Structure formats: C-alpha cells, structure tokens
C-alpha cells in the first residue's frame, strides 16, 4: 500500500461517503417526486465499489447490473451526468435515453434491467481485451440462479478469458431471501465446479475487499483465466425505492470503516461526521442544480440514436 494506512482509509472513507451521498440524493429526489423511474439503490455496496476501482486500471472494463449508479460514479463519470440521466435530461450521460438501470459509459460499459443480462457480455468483451487488461462482471446473488451465470462461467473457463466474476451478495433477490431462491450454500462454491479460483470476502470491509480483488486480478492479468469473488454485503434499502416492504439486511460499510478509523487509528469522530455532512450537502446541491438547469430531450428527436451514426 503506497499511503500509510490511516491516510488511505481516510481517502476510501471519503469516496464511500461520496457514493452513499449520491444515492441519498437520488432517494430524496424520488421521495419528493422529482426523479422518475424504477430505482434500485446501492447503499451497502460502497466498500466493494470503492475497493474494486482502487484495483482497476483505466483500460480495464466493468459490466454492472440493476443497481449501477455508484459503479458509474466511482469509475470517474461526472456525477452530474449520471444525475441528469436519472432525471431524464438531454444532457445526461446517455441523453436521457437510458435512465437508471441502462446507463452506459466507457469504463463501466453498461448496467441492465435484465437480471444476469450483462454477464455474458463481459465474457465476450474480454475476448477483445489487450494482454493484461481485465473485464469485471458485477452481479447480485439473484443472478446466480439464472442459466446465463452458469453458461458464462463455463464459456469464460473454456476460453480462459480475463474476467473477474464479482458477486455482490446482499442476501436478497427482489422480494425473497437467498434461502428461498436456492438450496446451494454459497456462490463461491461454483468456482470449484468450473475449475476456476474462487474466494469469498466480507464486502463491508474495504481493506479486505481490496486485498481479495488485488490477489485475484494478478493471475487473471497474467492470462491464467477467470476467477470468482463473492462479496457479502448488506442491502440497506428495499428492492426498489418506494416499496412498502422494508426488506433490508445489516452491515453498513461506512460504520465498519468509521469504527476502524476512530477505534484503532485515532481519527476524531467529528472529522468523519464532517465528511458525511459535506458530501450529503453536495449530493443535494447536485440534485437541485440538475433539476433546475438541465434541459429535457425534444420529442422531435424521438428516433435519434436508434441506429448507429451514419447508418440508415
């Protein structure tokens, strides 16, 4: 680790808070009736997301799923572009044609509204990657029960392509717990079946996440083929914003990192609280500014982008 532990953790803490604050602002916008759409928020996944991007290079690629906002923001996309997209504005990341689940950009290629729908794309994309570059397939534990998860693991293992299958296991798939979806004990066990390295890690602990991803990416970058990492995280919100069921789980990664900083590393709790207040205020400011300033698409452009530029 290049920075001393305390400094590094403070950097990661701020990043995790920034991601949390973005989603908090989205939640606020939804609650106030200002942000449309079927919104699935990612509170609880901040340690995995922050840890992941700490381990990636600019030429690595990531495929996300249906809780994608934080992945895009963490990858370096201007949060204003993401917020404007969620608000359905012409100046959004995808000119308002994508919305919440279907965001697309360069480093994080895309999210999806189809559970499991991007896993095989990550495998194909990896075929085209230059030596040393990887593709990360992010998905939840609900996707593990789809056929395409298994087809994609099998394809990647056969083709020996540089893919890290990264499952963010929050214990819930839509409105039912993992126990109600499968009799299989752990996602990590599929690694053995497909003959690829597999590990599981506490996804609320950013240091553990970074250690695990770093260790797993090494052999992938060297051309040894895919690997599977199961990160146990919490789902801190209901399946979608506005759902009447409060189906959540415990394990706030911000509390974990703040406990480490205050209890072991002598950081003042008030300093961390200041970071939270600061980022939350920025999130709300961003939301309000986007809603006030960014223009909506013109219905006269309804067919724009249907075909690639230059094609009929």
C-alpha distances out from residue 44 to 16, 123, 191, 233, Å: 10, 26, 25, 6
Q: How far is the CB of 182 from other proteins (least distance, A)?
A: 19
Judged by the rule CB under 8 A, the positions of this chain that interact with other proteins are 61, 63, 92-98, 102, 104-106, 109-110, 112-114, 117-129, 135, 147-148, 151-152, 154-155, 158-159, 304-312
Q: How far is the CB of 179 from other proteins (least distance, A)?
A: 26
Q: Which lies closer to other proteins via its Cβ, residue 119 or residue 217?
A: 119
Q: Which lies closer to other proteins via its Cβ, residue 38 or residue 109?
A: 109
- On whether the CB atoms of residues 168 and 45 are closer than 8 A, the answer is yes
Q: How far is the CB of 296 from other proteins (least distance, A)?
A: 14
Sorted by sequence, the CB contacts under 8 Å of residue 151 that are 6+ apart come out as 120
Q: Is 246 left (phi over 0), alpha (psi -120 to 50) or beta?
A: beta
Q: How far is the CB of 261 from other proteins (least distance, A)?
A: 38
Task: Give the H/E segment covering residue 212.
Answer: helix 206-221
Helix segments in 61-146, DSSP class H: 69-74, 79-86, 119-128
For 141-199, the three-class secondary structure string (H helix, E strand, C coil) is HHHHHCHHHHHHHHHHHHHCCCEEEEEEECCEECCEEHHHHCCCCCHHHHHHHCCCCEE
Q: Which lies closer to other proteins via its Cβ, residue 52 or residue 155?
A: 155
Q: Which lies closer to other proteins via its Cβ, residue 92 or residue 283?
A: 92
Q: How far is the CB of 214 from other proteins (least distance, A)?
A: 24
Sorted by sequence, the CB contacts under 8 Å of residue 112 that are 6+ apart come out as 64, 65, 66, 101, 102, 118
Q: How far is the CB of 130 from other proteins (least distance, A)?
A: 10
Q: Which lies closer to other proteins via its Cβ, residue 119 or residue 212?
A: 119
Is beta strand 176-177 parallel, antiparallel or unpaired with respect to 172-173? Answer: antiparallel
Q: Which lies closer to other proteins via its Cβ, residue 77 or residue 212?
A: 77
């Amino acid at each position: 680790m290049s920075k001393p532990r305390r400094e590094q953790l403070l950097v990661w803490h701020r990043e995790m808070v920034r991601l949390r604050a973005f989603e908090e602002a989205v939640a606020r916008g939804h609650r106030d009736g200002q942000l449309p759409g079927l919104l699935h928020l990612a509170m609880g996944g901040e340690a995995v997301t922050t840890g992941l991007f700490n381990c990636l290079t600019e030429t690595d690629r990531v495929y996300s799923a249906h809780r994608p906002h934080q992945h895009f923001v963490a990858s370096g996309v201007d949060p204003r572009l993401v917020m404007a997209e969620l608000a359905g504005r012409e100046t959004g990341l995808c000119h308002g044609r994508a919305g919440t689940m279907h965001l697309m950009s360069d480093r994080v290629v895309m999210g999806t509204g189809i559970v499991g729908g991007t896993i095989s794309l990550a495998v194909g994309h990896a075929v085209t990657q230059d030596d040393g570059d990887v593709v990360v397939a992010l998905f939840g534990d609900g996707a593990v029960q789809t056929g395409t998860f298994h087809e994609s693991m099998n394809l990647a293992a056969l083709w020996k392509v540089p893919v890290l299958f990264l499952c963010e296991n929050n214990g819930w798939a839509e409105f039912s717990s993992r126990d109600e979806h499968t009799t299989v004990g752990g996602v990590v066990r599929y690694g053995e079946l497909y003959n690829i390295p597999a590990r599981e890690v506490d996804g609320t602990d950013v240091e553990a996440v970074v250690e695990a991803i770093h260790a797993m990416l090494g052999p992938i970058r060297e051309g040894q083929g895919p690997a599977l990492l199961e990160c146990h995280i919490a789902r801190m919100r209901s399946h979608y914003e506005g759902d009447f069921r409060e189906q959540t789980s415990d394990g706030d990664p911000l509390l974990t990192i703040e406990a480490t900083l205050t209890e072991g590393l002598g950081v003042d709790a008030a300093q961390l609280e200041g970071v939270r207040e600061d980022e939350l205020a920025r999130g709300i400011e961003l939301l309000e500014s986007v809603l006030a300033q960014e223009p909506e698409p013109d219905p006269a452009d309804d067919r724009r982008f249907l075909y690639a530029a230059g094609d009929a």
